[in-house]
Structure 1
């Protein structure tokens, strides 16, 4: 069962206007079609792609930052230099040979 905090802050929500200047993390995740937890981890690593609002530090993004997040995300897997991460293949099990008696 999800907690009350998760239901408030962990679920992507549709913005009133998808073209508005500033959006919260939940609205940005909805527009970019990703999870809120992934977006928070991404923004923690890339401080320049988000802003803070108010004393409590609510994370907001503007149009340019959302475009940069999308471009970074669409660039592919930076660990291997591939444009798309490789699909995992199922492991082959070793073939047992029977010993002739």
Structure 2
């Protein structure tokens, strides 16, 4: 069961106008088609890609910052150096062995 905080802040939300100057993290995640948690982790490591609205307020991004985030996301999986994460291969069925009496 999802917590109340996750339902408020962890789900991407469609912005009123996809071309607006400033967006919240949830709206940015919706536009870039990524999860809010991935975007928050990225913004935690790269502080220059976001701003704050007010004293300790909402995290916001502008158009240039969103373009940079898109480039980072399009570069692929930085952990392995691959252009995109690999799909897991399906499990192979194992043959049952008969037990001797």
> Shorter-chain TM-score: what band?
0.7 to 0.9
Structure 2 gaps, min length 5 = 96-101
Deviation track 1:29-77 (CA, whole Å, cap 9, x = no partner) reads 1111111111111111111111111012310000011111010010012
Aligned residues: 98
What RMSD in Å do the two structures reach over aligned CA positions? Answer: 2.1
Aligned to 1:36: 36
Aligned to 1:89: 89
Aligned to 1:77: 77
Given the two structures, how large is their TM-score scaled by the length of structure 2?
0.81
Aligned to 2:21: 21
Given the two structures, how large is their TM-score scaled by the length of structure 1?
0.81
Partner SS state of residue 59, structure 1: strand
Partner SS state of residue 64, structure 1: helix
Structure 1 gaps, min length 5 = 96-101
Q: Could you tell which deviates more after superposition, 76-85 or 12-21?
A: 76-85
Aligned to 1:50: 50
